Structure 1
Amino acid sequence: MPVEEHDPFEDQFASALRQTGGTFESHPLGLAARGESRGRTIRRRRAVIAGGVTGVALVGLGGALVLPGIQADGGQRHSVAGSPSAPAAPPARPSALSADDLVRTLEGLLPKGKFSDEDGRGTGERLPPYARVVYDDGKGKAAVAVMVDRVRPGSSHALETTACPDKVFVPYDACTSGRLADGSALMILQGYEYPDRRVATKLWSAELITPKGQHISVQEWNAPAEKDAPVSRSRPPLSPDQLKALAGADAWRSVADAVPADPRVPTTEPSRPQGVPGGSVSATLATLLPKGAEVVKKGVADPGFGYVVLDDGKGASMVQVNVQADMSGVAGQLFGSGSKTLPDGTRVATHQGPGEKGGRGVVMWTVDTMRPDGRRVVISAFNSGAQHTPATREAPALTPKQMEAIATSEKWFRRG
């Protein structure tokens, strides 16, 4: 899997996991696919929400919340149930909103039903505000959650958050991504809690980012909890159109405006690490494959990460590569006693183990290489066409020797 870039926004979620009882530890290889980044962000956001649920229950209030600075008869309330909203002038920026405020906002925006197991976090805390309820419309209990934060408009994080993920990394039934009339980017994903679908828990979500950088994330399940709860209905309660309405409610934008600015988030887009000069990792990888390996799928053009799915007649096998420059600072963590050094000074470490995404019988072979000047190429191969699907063959299509030859090729850093 490709190597993650440092993203200050992801630091927030990692910090949130540590503080709410979740666990996030980066693997020494630092591996996480760009195509998987959407799913990873959703899981971290979900962990932030889920981490504070245990042992906390707020009193259920079925009425709509009147946010500070918003008049009850003039608020811009958008109901998922389709009730009309009266126009009003933009409210004054609220100084702070409590967890109870957010929970009541969520309940007021959902169609008529019963609520239980309410939980939330207000805007005055260091971690992102959220609201979570168990909602029952008479067809079975379902967890529904909303988290609100702010992102830098037009940043790579914003673009990735509202783009449909690659099915090679994140399985789903349907996904739409586009822009609303006001310029907001919206992505609606109908997927699953578990990538390998070992249980029938569905996860549907909406990610909305406004031109001002207000970010509203909505998740819903067809069970009263995202994990370890029996499925209570065939599908989550809100349709894609209702998810769109809930994410687009003006009340959440007021919540986002009340979130204190994080001084750790830079005001300009950080430069991305240089990868293949002027090229695509997927395309370069395809030229380095051994003869007889037919490419049946190839990743999009990206100078830092790419993948291909091979089929040599013995079953599908995914191969992915990450290319980075100036990684000398982590060499000590990546190349231990089991690694070797080639005559030109390139360090090589080989790893073999199970795949990480739950596909039955999936194994992952990885060859990690670093040139003396810190240029790094990591290649991983699987015995399946995707990490979350069952194994299609006994071993990956490439041998460790072939993978080393690919990773140490000069093509990765050749200009022109």
Structure 2
Amino acid sequence: MFADQHEDPFEERLAAALHETGGGFDTDRTALAARGEAHGRRTRFVRRAAVAGGTAGVVLACVGGALVLRPGGTATEAVPSSVTASAKPKPSITARLATDEEMIETLKSLLPKGDFSEERGTGTEPTDARKVPAPSAGLVFDDGKGAAAIGVTVGRVQPGGTTARQAARCPDRVAIPYDACNTSRLADGSVVTVLQGYEYPDRRVADTKLWTAELVTPTGQHITVSEWNAAAEKDKPVTRTDPPLNPAQLTRLAAAQEWRTVANALPEPLPEPELPGSDLHARTDLLALLALLPKGLKVTAKSSDDGDFAYAVVDDGKGRSMVQVNVQPDMLDVAGDLFDSSSETLPDGTRVAVQQGPGDRGDQVMWTVDTMRADGRRVVISAFNAGTQNEPATRETPALTIAQMREMALDARWWSGS
């Protein structure tokens, strides 16, 4: 019911990389990936740059940075369990295992009055491989105003880790279009981000809305709630103007104590892997990109400087053009996927691959220069004939030539920090 109907091996790999957030619901991958784990971000960028045509969206999936959780934010009142704010007091339970059916029934008990159908759930019971699955529940809910898919996933993350920090920030509007986004701090110190966006970031199905609430507690409990204004996230007609739960209700549902007791029954999260050299390059990618841009280009927008991915929107007087860069160390393990006999090999062993094809939208053009040093250090630069990857083309070709992009990608300052 909620599974993606498009049989694309790349999207299947991406869904696997997003299992923490996706669970049983294959939601908008770009929006979720924007706050994904660093290692997942690395994998997605590799796969995106490996192919050309109709796959530009996950280059921008690398957009995602670190936001340190610190006091401040918007404090809210203590959150009642039920979305309807009418839950009865229950005995204090710190942790509990949950069956598939219990996950479903918990979700139903926390929703307003309405009709339920197409129910599914995954509990905390170990599988045959003795692995505890990511608990989730989903169903179609109808409050009399139209059927809507609603799902929740429960997990644990490292407190203060990459996933926790990225869950506490709204995505870059240039990269991920949305109507509204708000991050607030609850009275217990939990941080919740409510995003009111769309199933398709490029708005090719403009009326399909996806609203999410992603909550991380100070101890690493991680709850994600997703809802649509249709009976499924894809391939179902829109049934209502907006999803059924408003931002406040989404927040209450994500903050329900019932999910936290389920999260506490899960194993401790594994330490998040660190990308070698990422600390150095996270601070210099944007600065290097801006310094290496050809003269005569006006920068109209740019990314923050706190991630391993950077972009700038430039204009040479002929229309806006987005330029992206990703700097990655130790990528020899995927060299065979990225370069072949048609790639150029320089005297020092650096390999260069050039791709020119369509972007995500039918009128977009995406040019990419992918380079890898002999020791596995990789720099990828892409340029578009539009100001973002989700809007109509603003010009015939990108503002940079392939020669200019090649010169930028091969520049030594990506690795010197100068």
For residues 238 and 152 of structure 1, what CA distance do their matches in structure 2 show? Answer: 29
The CA distance in 1 between the partners of 2:80 and 2:297, in whole Å, is 56
CA shift in 2, pair 1:278/1:333, >3 Å: closer
Aligned to 2:39: none
Specify whether residues 248 and 14 from structure 1 end up closer, same or farther in structure 2 by C-alpha distance, changes over 3 A only: closer
Closer/same/farther in 2, CA of residues 208 and 296 from structure 1, 3 Å limit: same
371-380 or 183-192: bigger deviation: 371-380
1:116 is the counterpart of 2:128:
no
Q: Is the 8 A contact 1:280 1:303 kept in 2?
A: no
C-alpha distance in structure 2 between counterparts of 1:190 and 1:11, whole Å: 20
Partner of 1:43: none
AA of the residue aligned to 1:375: R
Describe how 1:255-270 pairs up with structure 2 within 5 A.
255-261=262-268, 265-266=270-271, 269-270=272-273
Deviation at residue 13 of structure 1 after TM alignment: 5.2
Which residue number corresponds to residue 216 of structure 2? 209
> Which residue of structure 1 aligns with residue 101 of structure 2?
100
What is the percent sequence identity of the aligned residues?
51
Matches of 1:278 and 1:79 in 2, distance apart? 41
2:261 matches 1:254? yes
Q: What is the DSSP-based 3-state SS (H/G/I as helix, E as strand, rest coil) of the residue aligned with 2:158?
A: coil
1:189 to 195, 214, 223: 195
The correspondence of residues 156-305 of structure 1 with structure 2, limited to 5 A, is: 156-199=162-205, 200-261=207-268, 265-266=270-271, 269-274=272-277, 279-302=283-306, 304-305=308-309
Q: Which deviates further from its counterpart, 399-408 or 338-347? A: 338-347
Question: CA 1:121–1:141 in structure 2 vs 1: closer, same or farther (change >3 Å)?
Answer: same
Relative to 1, partners in 2 of residues 1:148 and 1:132: Cα closer, same or farther, differing over 3 Å?
Answer: same
Is the 2:282–2:308 Cα contact (8 Å) retained in structure 1? Answer: no
Looking at structure 2, the residues matched to 277 and 235 of structure 1 have their Cα atoms a distance apart, in angstroms, of 41
> Contact conserved, 1:360 with 1:391, CA < 8 A, in 2?
no
Q: Is the 8 Å Cα contact of residues 281 and 302 (structure 1) preserved in structure 2? A: no
Contact 2:181 2:194 in 1 (8 A): yes
2:248 is paired with a residue whose SS is helix
Do the aligned residues in 2 keep the contact of 1:124 with 1:259 (CA within 8 Å)? Answer: no
Which structure has more RCO (C-alpha within 8 Å, separation ≥ 6)?
2
Q: Equivalent residue of 2:174, what SS?
A: coil
Aligned to 1:29: 49
Amino acid at match of 1:338: S
Mark the runs of 5 or more structure 2 residues left unpaired by the alignment.
1-13, 30-42, 51-57, 66-78, 127-131
Counterpart mapping for 1:36-115 below 5 A? 36=63, 78-86=81-89, 88=91, 90-91=92-93, 93-94=95-96, 96-115=97-116
SS of residue in 2 equivalent to 1:29: helix
Q: Distance in 1 between matches of 2:48 and 2:209?
A: 31
2:136 alignment partner in structure 1: 130
Partner of residue 34, structure 2 = none
Residue pair 1:278, 1:415 contacting (<8 A) in 2 also = no
- Contact 1:368/1:379 (8 A) holds in 2: yes
In structure 2, C-alpha distance between the alignment counterparts of 1:181 and 1:360, rounded to whole Å: 46
Query: What is the total number of aligned residue pairs between the two structures?
Result: 360
Give the CA deviation at 1:36.
Answer: 4.5
Check the 8 A contact 1:12/1:127 in 2, yes or no: no
CA contact (8 A) 2:281 2:308 kept: no
8 A Cα contact 1:364 1:383, kept in partner: yes
Is 2:417 the counterpart of 1:410? no
**Displacement of 1:87:** 6.2
Distance 1:378 1:132, change over 3 A: same
Q: Would the alpha carbon gap of residues 205 and 402 (structure 1) be closer, same or farther in structure 2, given more than 3 Å must change?
A: same
1:342 equivalent among 346, 364, 369: 346
Kept in 1, the 8 Å contact 2:281–2:327? The answer is no
State the shift of 1:33 in Å: 3.4
Secondary structure, aligned partner of 1:172? coil
Amino acid at match of 1:271: E
Shift of 1:293: 1.0
Q: 1:329 to 1:387 in 2, by over 3 A?
A: same
Moved more, 78-87 or 334-343: 78-87
Structure 1 pair 338–226 and aligned structure 2 pair: CA distance change class (3 A): same
Map 1:301-380; keep pairs closer than 5 Å: 301-302=305-306, 304-355=308-359, 358-380=360-382
**Structure-1 separation of matches of 2:48 and 2:240:** 40
Paired residues for 1:383-394 under 5 Å:
383-394=385-396
* Inter-partner Cα distance in structure 1 for 2:125 and 2:292: 53
Give the SS at the match of 1:78. coil
Shift of 1:228: 0.7
Runs of 4+ in 1 over 4 A off after TM superposition: 11-17, 34-38, 275-278
- In the alignment, structure 1 segments of 5+ residues that lack a partner are 1-6, 39-75
| TM superposition score normalised by structure 2 | 0.79
8 A contact 1:123–1:260 mirrored in 2: no
Counterpart for residue 145 of structure 1? 151
Deviation at 1:92, TM superposition (A): 5.1
1:220 shift after superposition: 0.6
Q: 1:378 to 1:13 in 2, by over 3 A?
A: same
CA distance in 1 between counterparts of 2:333 and 2:301 reads 34
Per the TM alignment, residue 399 of structure 1 is displaced from its structure 2 partner at its CA by 1.0
CA offsets 1:178-225 (integer angstroms, 9 cap, x no match): 321111111000000011212211000000011111111000111111
Give 1:309 deviation, angstroms.
0.5
1:244-298 deviations in Å (ceiling 9; x for gaps): 1100110011111223446xx22xx432332555843122111111111111011
Q: Give the superposition deviation at 1:162.
A: 2.8
What TM-score results when the alignment is normalised by the length of structure 1? 0.80
Indicate conservation of the 8 Å contact 1:78/1:246, yes or no: yes
Partners of 1:35 and 1:169 within 8 A in 2: no
SS at match of 1:280: helix
- Which deviates the most, 300-309 or 28-37? 28-37
Distance 1:303 1:27 in 2: 19
How far, CA to CA, are the matches of 1:388 and 1:278 in structure 2?
25
Secondary structure of the 1:251 match is: helix
